[in-house]
Amino acid sequence: MTKVWAALMAMLALTGCWKEAPTQANLSMTSYSYSPVLVTEAKVEGLKIPFNTTVVAGEAEDANIPRDLGAYMLSWSAGNKDTVAVSAKWVELLTDRAWEASLEVSPDDLLRNSLNTASITLIFGPNGQFVAGTDPSDTGSGKDLASECGTRTPTQDRDISAEVDAHALLAEALRFDYPPVPDQTTCPEPAS
């Protein structure tokens, strides 16, 4: 009977056929390999994720690499809401340019694991690209739900190399040899 129950839960998670709204969410963050960032703030439904700053350097463009490594567990209720708001503020490590963006996604589109925990993945790209995806570990590969080009916040620009000792993993991230940003990007190079 336990195997049948586990199989049913896995099938519900794969198809997204949950009747009730998720009560928990795993929030994870990644970036494209050519666009590492220092995230200074992230919010889900206005709830600020409890961290000061965090270095995010991933390989979101590679479908063979999980995008949801490391996650913050959130207790929340999507309730009867039509959308879930996510937002972030960040600084690109390679350009020192600051950005902010917000998106809304449907809670029905969030993939869930066998415990009905929703997955939200924030993905950072070059020139302020901000993507909200969903990537639960136990149900296979994820998908992108919404994307936008963030708003430049030049007053928040900062020389990240001067802060090497202030943030965990920053020195290591700045030593890495990143691939070049592709000629064609989703978001255009900013004017300033």
Confidence of residue 88 (pLDDT cuts 50, 70, 90): very high
Report CA 114 to chain centroid distance, whole Å: 21
User: What are the tens digits of pLDDT across the range 24-44?
Assistant: 788 889 999 999 999 999 998
pLDDT in tens, 148-191: 999 999 999 999 989 888 877 888 888 889 999 999 999 998 88
| DSSP result, 90-118 | EEETTT--EEEEEEEE-GGGS-B-TT-EE
The CA distances from residue 3 to 7, 10, 136, in Å, are: 6, 10, 21
Question: Is the pLDDT confidence value at 10 over 60?
Answer: no
- pLDDT at position 26 is 83
Percent of the chain past pLDDT 90, that is, above it, reads: 38
For residue 13, pLDDT over 50 is answered with no
Would you place residue 114 in the very low, low, confident or very high pLDDT band (cuts 50, 70, 90)?
A: confident
**Rounded to two decimals, what is the model's pTM?**
0.84
59: DSSP letter: -
Structure token digits, residue 147 = 């994307």
Tokens 């739900």 correspond to 145
Q: Give the number of other CB atoms < 10 A from CB of residue 8.
A: 11
Confidence grade of residue 146 (pLDDT, cut at 50, 70, 90): very high
According to the model, what pLDDT value does residue 70 have? 62
